[in-house]
Amino acid sequence: MASQRRAGEPETVNPMVDGGPTEGVSTLDGMFSQQPTVVDEVQEVPLQMPQQDLGWVIRPNCEIEDMTVGNPHHHLSFKEGTRYRVPIEVAEILYNREKLMEVPYPYEPQRR
């Protein structure tokens, strides 16, 4: 007869009931029986980012404090008239709400 568990009490399961595996319960036998693959050469490749990830330049027409986009723990603040490089999502939101002095444009690093 099965006993009833109390709330918060862990359940113990015997995967070998009656000498064989229980359906739906894995014993992980044979899961790690293969030999590890040895990698003897690592090639470093420079990171290539799409254009949109390089950022967009914005220039707010008002003070913006504690703006969040995506992650609620990442706050953004902007001063009026100062140019900033931001992700495209931030540029789109501020442009659509008419909070920019000029149309955002893609950031292009200066080549030397």
Higher pLDDT, 71 or 84: 84
Question: Does the pLDDT at position 14 exceed 80?
Answer: no
Q: Which residue do the tokens 């909070």 mark?
A: 99
Residue 97 contacts residue 66 (beta carbons within 8 Å): no
Q: Could you read off the pLDDT of 67-80 as tens digits, one per residue?
A: 988 888 888 999 99
Of 7-11, 69-73, 90-94, least confident by mean pLDDT is: 7-11
**With bands split at pLDDT 50, 70 and 90, how would you rate the model's confidence at 109?**
confident
Is pTM beyond 0.85? Reply is no
